[in-house]
Amino acid sequence: MPEVGKEILQHYYDYLTTNLTFPFQARYPEPIGLHVEIIKTATVIGLLDPAKNLDCESLGLVCKARQGKQQVELSLADLEVDEDDPNHQLVEDYWYWFWNWQ
C-alpha cells in the first residue's frame, strides 16, 4: 500500500468523487471535554479537493457536510457509515489506509 501523501490523496480523491454516491449519512466523534466525546451525525454532500488543502497530509481528505442548516467540513477518516449504505466499503477502505499508513 502507498504511504499517505499529496499525490496519493489526489488519486484517492479522484477515485472517491467518481465512486461515492452523494449525499450520504455519516457519524463522527466530536470532543466535548478531556477524554469525552459525543457522536454526531451529518449529511456528506461532497469532498474538498486536496490540492487546495495545505493540511491534507495530516487531515486527509475533507468532506463538505451539512448538520441541520449549518455546513461543516469533516475529515473523511473520522466518519463512520452504516454497513447497509452503498458507500460503506469505500469509506472503510479509505479509513483503513489513512490510519494505518500515517
Structural domain boundaries in the chain: 6-100
pTM for this prediction: 0.87
Within a 10 A sphere around the Cβ of 26, how many other Cβ atoms?
A: 23
Preceding peptide of 29 cis, ω within 30°: no
| pLDDT of amino acid 58 | 67
Nearest Cα to 69, choosing from 36, 42, 97, 39?
Answer: 42
Contact criterion met (CB below 8 Å) for 96 and 80: no
Query: Residue 1: which pLDDT band, with cuts at 50, 70 and 90?
Result: low
Q: CA-CA distance, 53 to 42, in Å (whole number)?
A: 21
Please tell me the CATH code under which domain 6-100 is placed.
2.30.30.530
pLDDT in tens, 53-96: 666 666 789 999 999 999 999 999 999 999 999 999 999 999 99
